Amino acid sequence: SPYCYVSHSKNCTWKSVPVKRPRLQTGVSSNLRTLQALIFAVEEINNNPNILPNITLGFQAYDSCNVLQKDLEGTLQVLTGYNGIIPNYRCLENIPIAAIIGPYTSTHSILLAHILGLYRYPQVSHFSTSPVLSDKRMFPSFFRTVPSDMFQSQGLAKLVLHFGWTWIGLLALDNDYGQQGIQLVKQELIKAGACIAFSENILMSQPDRNARHIVNVIKKSAATVIIVFSLPVDLVPILDEMLTQNITKKVFVASEAWSTSTLFSDGKFSDILTGTIGLALHSEMIPGFGDFLNKSLHSMTWLKLLWEEFFVCKFAGERNLTVTLDAPIKMCTGMEISVRFHKDGEIILSPVLSSQYSGREIFFDENGDPPAVYDIVNWKLSPEGTIKQVKVGSYDIAALSGRVFSVNTTSQVIDNNSCPPGFRKVAINGKPACCFQCIPCPQGEISNHTDAVDCVTCTWDEWPNLQKTKCLQKNIEYLSYEDPLGASLAVTGIISSLVPVVILRLFIKYKSTPIVKANNYSLSCLLLLCLPLCFLCSLTFIGYPQPEKCLLRQAAFGLVFTLCISCILAKTIMVVFAFMAHQPGSKLRILVRPFVSYLIISICFLLQLILCLVSLVKLPSFTEYDTQTKPGIIIVQCNNGFSLAFWSMLAYLGLLATISFIVAFLARRLPDSFNEAKFITFSMLAFLSVWVSFILASLNAQGKYTEAVEVFAILSSSWALVACMFLPKCFIMLFRPALNSKKRLIKDNKHKRDSNTWLPYTGIGPII
């Protein structure tokens, strides 16, 4: 029968078409193509007088449905010559059959070869590749038209080693074909120094082929190259499970049994199988084979029925399909065979019949095996989303050119069994030398080639890219004028420096007024001359930190602010001295002279100057390139030599400000005509608050933000002095001139003396 059904009905008589559409077994189309190829070969031989003159070949076809029991039944019927099976009995009614061709699988062929060998009955297999069948003592009458798996195993090992893969997984059917083939491959790989990560059997006795266990092993293994000895139908459950678990990026190396199978051409497993490479029996284009298939299609009624069933179509002139269809009926064109039929037909005819078209000399060795000629095929994804097998090389042990193994550069193999660039190979303890794991390069190192043993450190001014395959120039970070933050701070500092200049001009204009005279005009002018420098010294912290700038900026900051705070301290002390000297009979009048205030300023400034000179000589500041704080960034900054120098300078400023604050706070209730203490109190309180906040913020700042925090502190503290010391006076001079008169000041002082006869004890003495 030309049909091979998997039927659930035990009452199937095979005499009528079933009501329920049967499910065609997967191997039907392959067996049919094999039969058609045999018929074509017989006709070619019979029509060619140069091959077998005066001899006509014939055949009888039996369909075993790839079931071992049916193979055995058909063989015994041939031997008996009768419909019944009678061992050791022969009753021939017709011309004896010269040989038995088949079966397809090695396991079935081995069983039949044991029986046929007893009678020396010739057996020729078209696809049984087990190396056991080469033993003529065990199988004296067995022949085949395909090479032994011994050659295929050597070819697969060469193919794997060609790509540098040394960490391999193995999958094989639990039959003779799979077990013998995989053992030969294993021996070749170990001999070549490769490592076997795992070796699992595809259990044909289980419906799911033990798929879940196998896929879990694949998932846990670091091996990404898997050699598979299997039939296409037995591999499907494994691929389905891999698809379910979303396991990709594995490279399959296919044996010849499935390397050209069209079962996977629809693209369902494209994410898994794209890049597969394997060996396929060499094929040639056979002229006239396509025409023969079309001719056979129209001449054989059973073939037309099968065609309509398999391709779900209808030939013109046929009223009904043989089964009920759910989809709309389409017309059969006869071209449905396409490449699917032609390709396997070509393989069946190779290498024997194809020799007359290719010019190759075909021979059989002493074991009855033909020469090993394989095509190397690569599975590629077509633009239509289907998988196609493309020839990318060959393995021919009898090559006339002497080039046994060759692979061209067009093969698209996903090489995941090597350490890619950006990683380095590290040996696994307790494993052979070829077994390794891929470790990412450490921070700051790269590897720019496959299977690197060591990573290379980038230079100090370079940084690896994300893939760690090349070194990139690091970005340079500093508080620049082009930076929006730096530009805004610079503009603020320049504009702010003009405010004290304007106030100084205002003080000069109103220097004869009581409010200016009462607040020590000379010291106020000196302070107003220093404050623009306080604002402008912030600019030394912006821009590229050149060595000269690093040397001067901290010293300039310390000296300018020391001069300002010294002026305020001198003003505070002079307020107290002036009040105490004002009392009758006081001997402190000498301290009210101008040189005393300048002496205080000079002493305070001289101490800071000495501290700065010592730090510049002993611990000079220099330009530093920080490559560790921020990955991929070079922070250009000034190294102040030793942080103690900077903090000592800042502590000295804090000491002066604290003394000024305490003295001003104690003298805050002196008469207004002499009193500036309350403004000094607020200014020093704001000054100290700013720099305490700076200390806390600078501990967490990095890179350019460290400089930005210090610039902000300089500007804020400078504004604290301007706002608290001078803005109230400017407001009175410009907007409340009535308050800026001697009469108003005398009136206010009299009112204060009446309401405050005694001041709280301050260590200075009672107020009269």
* Encoded amino acid at 98, one letter: A
Please report the pLDDT score of residue 719 as a whole number. 95
Neighbours of 484 (CB within 10 A): 7
* Average pLDDT of the residues of the chain: 81
Task: Say which range, 236-245, 494-503, 702-711, has the weakest mean pLDDT.
Answer: 702-711
Residues 6+ apart with CB under 8 A from 572: 660, 663, 664, 667, 676, 677, 680
From the list 760, 731, 590, 739, the residue with the least C-alpha distance to 673 is 739
pLDDT of residue 431: 67
Complete DSSP assignment for 417-449: SSPPTTEEEEEPTTS-TT-EEEEEPPTTEE--S
- Position 219 scores a pLDDT of 92
- The pLDDT confidence band at residue 585, using thresholds 50, 70 and 90, is low
User: pTM for the complete prediction?
Assistant: 0.55
Q: Write a three-state SS string for 487-501.
A: HHHHHHHHHHHHHHH
Give 733's DSSP letter.
H
pLDDT at 8 over 60: no
Q: Does residue 34 surpass a pLDDT of 50?
A: yes
Q: Is the pLDDT of residue 739 over 90?
A: no
Beta bridge partners of 378: 277, 390
How far apart (Å, rounded) are the C-alpha atoms in residues 746 and 768? 15
Checking DSSP bridges between strand 195-202 and strand 225-229, what pairing results, if any?
unpaired
What is the band of 645 on the pLDDT scale with cuts at 50, 70, 90? confident
The 3-state DSSP class for residue 172 equals strand
Closest CA to 551 of 494, 613, 606, 626: 613
Q: How confident is the model at residue 272 (pLDDT cuts 50, 70, 90)?
A: very high
Residue 505 has a pLDDT of 93
**Domain-wise residue ranges, the chain:** 149-283+371-407, 423-473, 484-755
Domain 149-283+371-407 top-level CATH class: alpha beta
CA separation for the pair 115, 171 (Å, rounded): 30
283 or 94: which leads in pLDDT: 283
List pLDDT tens digits, range 153-173. 999 999 998 888 888 999 999
> What are the φ and ψ backbone dihedral angles of 319, each rounded to 5 degrees?
-75, -45
Q: Which residues contact 598 (CB under 8 A, 6 or more apart)?
A: 570
* Closest alpha carbon to 82 in 91, 70, 71: 91
Mean pLDDT of 397-410: 75
Q: Which residues contact 362 (CB under 8 A, 6 or more apart)?
A: 351, 352, 355, 370, 371
Residue 604 confidence class, pLDDT cut points 50, 70, 90: very high
Structure tokens at 441: 């390069």
What is the pLDDT at residue 743? 67
User: In terms of pLDDT, which residue wins out, 147 or 61?
Assistant: 147
Quick count: other Cβ atoms within 10 Å of Cβ 114? 12
Residue 148 predicted with pLDDT over 80: yes
In tens, the pLDDT along 533-570 reads 999 999 999 999 988 888 888 888 889 999 999 999 88
Q: 312-348 pLDDT, tens per residue?
A: 777 766 554 444 444 456 777 766 654 344 444 344 3
Q: What is the pLDDT of residues 55-104, one digit of tens each?
A: 888 888 877 777 888 888 888 888 887 677 777 777 777 777 888 988 88
Q: Helix (H) and strand (E) counts for the chain? A: 22, 22
482 or 593: whose pLDDT is higher? 482
Task: State the CATH architecture for 484-755.
Answer: Up-down Bundle (1.20)
Kind and range of the H or E element at 462?
strand 462-464
pLDDT higher than 50, residue 350 = no
**Omega prior to 103 cis, within 30 of 0:** yes
